[in-house]
Amino acid sequence: MQPRSFFAILACALILATAIPGAAMADEYQYKSPEEVKRMIDAEEPMHLVDIQVEGEFEKHHLPGAVPTYAYPLKSAEEKARVDAVIDTIQADDAPVVIVCPRGGGGAERCYTHLTSRGVDESRLFILEKGQEGWPFEEYIESD
């Protein structure tokens, strides 16, 4: 085998080895459907609803018992610090943690990753599918 061919094969193998795990990361998040969260609220099951919506959106609509962090989009150190403020409360028990963001996408995923980096057991973390905007149960929406 010629050296160029060997290095080309090696380069392709390295690219594939790093690309595949990165692509799989998006599938590693756990989710709860609105129906599951509604059932937990109705059954008064312990759960932490960590809401990362911006202040105006939280005031307009949020789930009962949701804890506001106003951390969306959770990219800056200041936004991450707002989530850090609720970690002691989350770590005080072993109840599930449901992250509520506007649409259940990137902000929620960043929050999920941030909480795991701060020591919250990933088995407890969930993202509300479709976020606050996808919440179909109007009677459960509160406003301030």
CATH number for the domain including 51?
3.40.250.10
Give domain status of residue 69, yes or no: yes
Return the bridge partners of 68, or none.
51
Give domain status of residue 21, yes or no: no
Give domain status of residue 123, yes or no: yes
pTM: predicted TM-score of the whole model, two decimal places: 0.81
Mean pLDDT value across residues 65-69: 97
133 φ, ψ to 5°? -65, -25
State pLDDT tens for residues 73-94: 999 999 999 999 999 999 999 9
Q: What is the extent of the structural domain holding 92?
A: 30-140
Output b/e per residue, 22-44; b: 16+ Cβ within 10 A.
eeeeeeebeebebeebbebbeee
Give domain status of residue 4, yes or no: no
Instruction: Count up the domains in the chain and report the number.
Output: 1
144: helix, strand or coil: coil
- With 0-12 / 13-18 / 19 or more C-beta atoms within 10 angstroms meaning exposed / middle / buried, residue 18 is exposed
Give domain status of residue 19, yes or no: no
